[in-house]
Amino acid sequence: MDDIAVKRHLSALPQDVIDAENDKLMAAHLYDYESLRVRLERSDVDIETVVRRLMTLEVGLPSWGMISGGTRFARFPMPGEPNNIFEKIEDCAAVHQIAGMTPRISLHFPWDVTYDYTEVRQYAEAYGIGFDAVNSNTFQDQPGQTLSYKYGSLSHTDRATRQQAIEHNLECIEIGQKLGSNALTVWLSDGTNFAGQAQFAETLERYLDSMTEIYAALPDDWRVFLEHKLYEPAFYSTVIQDWGTSILCAQQLGPKAQCLVDMGHHAPNVNIEMIVARLAQFGKLGGFHFNDSKYGDDDLDAGSINPFQLFLIFNELVHAEERAAKRGAAFDPSYMMDQSHNVTDPMESILNSARAIGGAYAKALIVDRAAMAAYQDANDVMMGHNCLRLAFETDVRPALAEARRRKGGAIDPMAAFRATGYRAEKARARQPRRAERGGIC
Ligand code: LRH
Ligand code: MN
């Protein structure tokens, strides 16, 4: 098996420890890899092709996910968690060193505000880390803020409050340009708790007016991602409540506006994979916030509750990518995580989620699409379905491990991470964060 040259940056983790852990597992890994190679060959799937595709998979990490998350009830900090943007970038680099598929961090403003973004960019580049979409925040009032977002921001009835929110988004674009990002994610908490509190059409018109000003400020190569959400913090209506409203707004705004699918932002049992197919079909699939949920917007680890749904989403993504290729159309959704790690080590949760996302993609890559299409045309329902079940039930872990190994990462991410003693070392080096009553972060 050939080793691809790995471009070396500053290492957040001792690479020799990762290599030593891999050496311990190499014999078993080679055996498992060969068994999978033979297994896939029987279905005319070349494992080398799968591994190479897996090595192109990249998922952005949420800066706010690098620290312990919380709920409205409480947040329980963990020793050694990062206290500033530099420590968050260092942890992101450590995760990428092991997982090989998380080369970008997505910042949130003003949570990640700092003085010198060129310094931040240089620090990240030294670790080989780039910047994914930047996130604006008009769902909290900042100390000293003149106009409150209690009754909304970009859709507020008051022109001055909307202008304040527009200017914040323009500032996020400026910061993003300094960081080398090329997208802005706008999630809006604007909504109502009572019928009669606001007029739906007029509210959306104000939102579109504001977004039109933000859209006009986008650099040529930028995109703006509209993130819909069913509810919370508004509990009667939310301005961008579903993918339908989101795609209508994205179509109205223009080609640089696309829709972002946060997996936790839908009513229970909604067919998210079909939403993905729809958005892709109309060229409006901008990106994802991968996570998982059992009830509401739980922001749990991707693949930890419903791995079959994550697989079905990647099945639609692989199909959409092939459709786009046939039509010479662009297909470049931005994959990001958006999780809240309330009871686990954030880095371990992210390593686990990266494995789940990579695994879902690997399984989607081995689906026999020609056979499935033939069964679909013949309305052979059971055999069509079983094409997906067979792929989902295939243990693709050796292919994923090999993709990580070839990028200098770990065959077993969790074992390698724990072997480095990174968190204990950071617990000694970093200031402890004080416990807070409540709040996401
Ligand atoms: C809203 C959301 C959004 C972020 C926030 C941290 O629920 O998913 O993407 O701004 O979480
Ligand atoms: Mn989100």
Tell me the mean pLDDT in the region 319-335: 96
**Where does the pLDDT of residue 431 fall: very low under 50, low under 70, confident under 90, or very high at 90 and above?**
confident
Looking at residue 440, its pLDDT comes to: 61
pLDDT at 432: 81
Residue 438: what pLDDT?
66
Residue range 18-77, pLDDT digits in tens: 999 999 999 999 999 999 999 999 999 999 999 999 999 999 999 999 999 999 899 999
Cβ atoms 149, 193 nearer than 8 A: no
Distance CA(293)–CA(303), nearest Å, equals 9
Q: Specify whether the CB–CB gap between 319 and 285 falls below 8 A.
A: no
Mean pLDDT of 244-269: 98
Query: Which ligand 1 atom sits closest to the C-alpha of 232?
Result: 7
Q: Which CATH class is domain 15-426?
A: alpha beta
Atom of ligand 1 nearest to the CA of 441: 6
Contact in structure between 55 and 403 (CB atoms under 8 Å)? yes
Convert the pLDDT of each residue in 86-123 to its tens digit: 999 999 999 999 999 999 999 999 999 999 999 999 99
* CA of residue 7 to ligand 2 center, whole Å: 31
* pLDDT at position 230: 98
> What is the structure's pLDDT at 246?
98
Alpha carbon of 64 to ligand 1 centroid (Å): 10
Measured in Å, residue 338 CA sits from the centre of ligand 2 at 5
pLDDT band at residue 8 using 50, 70 and 90 as cut-offs: low
**pLDDT exceeds cutoff 50 at 2:** no
> Which residue has its alpha carbon closest to ligand 1 atom 2?
187
pLDDT averaged over every residue in the chain: 96
Q: Give residues (CB < 6 A) around ligand 1.
A: 64, 135, 187, 227, 229, 262, 289, 297, 338, 440
What value does the mean pLDDT take over residues 271-284?
98
**Can you give the pLDDT at residue 9?**
83
Ligand closest in space to the Cα of 138: 1
What's the rounded mean pLDDT across residues 5-17? 81
In this prediction, residue 1 carries a pLDDT of 45
pLDDT of residue 433: 74
Measured on CA atoms in the order 302, 340, 133, 61, is the torsion positive or negative?
negative
Kindly state the average pLDDT of the residues 177-184: 98
Confidence band for 439, pLDDT divided at 50, 70 and 90 = low
Average pLDDT (322-327) is 96
Work out which ligand 1 atom sits closest to the CA atom of 340. Answer: 6
Confidence of residue 441 (pLDDT cuts 50, 70, 90): low
- Decide if pLDDT at 3 tops 80: no
Gap from CA of 31 to ligand 2 centroid (Å): 40
To test the pocket of ligand 1, the residue of 338, 340, 440, 441 to mutate (highest count of ligand atoms within 8 Å of its CB) is 338
Question: How confident is the model at residue 437, as a pLDDT?
Answer: 64
Ligand 1: atom nearest CA of 139 is 10
For residue 265, report the distance from its CA to the centre of ligand 2, in Å: 8
pLDDT digits (tens, 9 = 90+) for 380-401: 999 999 999 999 999 999 999 9
Q: Where are the domains of the chain?
A: 15-426
Query: Measured between alpha carbons, how far is 189 from 186 in angstroms, rounded to an integer?
Result: 10
